[in-house]
Amino acid sequence: MNGAPPLRVGVTLALRHGAQSIWENGIFQNCAFLVQALQQSPVVAQAVLLVNRAQVGEVSDGLLLHDTGLRLMGLDEALQQLDVVIEMSAQLDDEWALQLRQRGGRYVAMRVGNDYVIDVERALFGLPPAGLCSAKHYDAVWTLPQYAGSCADYFSIMARAPVRELPHLWSPMFVQRGVATLPPGTRFAYQPGRARWRVACFEPNVCIVKTGLVPLLACERAYRMRPARIDAVHMCNMRAMREHRGFAELAERLDIVREGVAAFHARYPTCEFMAGFGDCVVSHQWENEQNYLYYELLWGAYPLVHNSRRLRYVGYHYEDFDCESAAQALLRAMERHDHELPGYRDAARALLRTLHPAYAPNVDCYTRELLRVIAADG
């Protein structure tokens, strides 16, 4: 840094009035973990969560940010103090970003969603725009490896800035806080010994990249082969879809629906639902291979049936949209998981350690990109 003082960095966090939950989406956790990683960097003097308000007001208890060591800062203070702002959860006003850069600050976009697919869907189906395009001058766009294939050029061309891949970050901090609120006698941890499994799915079903149809069909196929092994199939985040005529006609052709094995639910926090009603999760994604859902389940040593090639060596992997393979993976988990639980848990924890915000290679990557942004011609 050529003798320059350590950096003061903010990561934007979108607050709204009323109750908010850390479990609404993954981006709130992502903001917190990024700040924690930046706090470990030798070139950072201060890293804060920058809220989308002039001053920091009341923060919902549901965000679980109390006693985390994470400081929140309002826009007025940030404009005077911060050297780098990373736009993540909240998209700040174009004029505010301009004033920051006129003062010599840097403005970075951190894209942690499949915005290419999301924006195409919004245009096709008449939904409100997501706000990717703006008049801001971005010094860089940071994103996750899972979006390099589908989104990197979209980000770069639209933002007129270089795109860099950085590590996905996760720690069990929020899961541990959620687990602490569970009723006495319940645990967020796989419990061996059940002859019949309760299978769950948690895909959000708000965008094509993460939906529950493949898991539903995989569970149907597994049930047709081994009905005595499946006690229930819980499709969370799918109650609204169940009311759609076309989807209802599809569902009613399935044995697990006609025989009352499948149930369609609203949204629930993973730890809360699995502690009371689940033994296994079947998941599916398309161009969205790094998910906090996976990490939470692996931390609890639950059998995870998934199609993420980035995580193919943990859990029970199947390829792409192959429902037959997914059904076989589910049945394989039923046969093997209890016997292989210690090794499964060790492999999961080994992976999760590499995601931690304080893991040295992660801190090094973010430090390097911060220095690259500072060194670039603004």
Please check the confidence at residue 127 and state whether its pLDDT lies above 90.
no
If DSSP codes are grouped into helix, strand and coil, which group holds residue 228? Answer: helix
CA-to-CA distance for 286 and 342, rounded, in angstroms? 30
What fold does the segment set 181-353 form as a domain?
Answer: Rossmann fold (3.40.50)
Name the percent of the chain lying above pLDDT 70: 98
User: Could you tell me the CA-to-CA distances from 101 to 13, 14, 76, 141, 337 in Å, in that order?
Assistant: 19, 21, 15, 16, 54
Band of pLDDT at residue 378, cut at 50, 70 and 90 = low
Band of pLDDT at residue 25, cut at 50, 70 and 90 = confident
Question: What is the pLDDT, as a whole number, of residue 2?
Answer: 52
End-to-end CA distance of the chain: 16
Band of pLDDT at residue 129, cut at 50, 70 and 90 = confident
**DSSP code string of 121-190:** HHHHTTPPP-----S---SEEEE-GGGHHHHHHHHHHHHTS-EEE------THHHHHHHTTSPTT--SS-
Q: Give domain limits for the chain.
A: 7-171+356-375, 181-353
CA-to-CA distance for 268 and 139, rounded, in angstroms? 38
Host H or E run for residue 375: helix 360-375
Query: Which of 69-78, 121-130, 212-221, 309-318 is predicted least confidently?
Result: 121-130
CA-to-CA distance for 364 and 374, rounded, in angstroms? 15
Burial class (CB in 10 A: 0-12, 13-18, 19+), 215: buried
Section 113-122 average pLDDT: 92
54-101 confidence digits (pLDDT tens): 888 888 999 999 999 999 999 999 999 999 999 999 999 999 999 999
Beta carbons of 82 and 374 less than 8 angstroms apart:
no
Question: What is the pLDDT, as a whole number, of residue 15?
Answer: 92
Please check the confidence at residue 3 and state whether its pLDDT lies above 60.
no
Take residue 89 and report the two structure tokens written for it. 């959860």
Number of residues that this document lists for the chain: 378
Report the CATH number of the 7-171+356-375 domain. 3.40.50
7-20 confidence digits (pLDDT tens): 999 999 999 888 99
Take residue 333 and report the two structure tokens written for it. 């988990």
Take residue 355 and report the two structure tokens written for it. 């995601």
CA-to-CA distance for 351 and 369, rounded, in angstroms? 23
Beta carbons of 359 and 353 less than 8 angstroms apart:
yes
**What pairs with residue 46 in β-bridges?**
8
Section 263-279 average pLDDT: 96
Section 278-306 average pLDDT: 97
Section 230-257 average pLDDT: 96
7-171+356-375 and 181-353 share one CATH topology? yes
Band of pLDDT at residue 1, cut at 50, 70 and 90 = very low
Residue with the two structure tokens 């294939």: 149
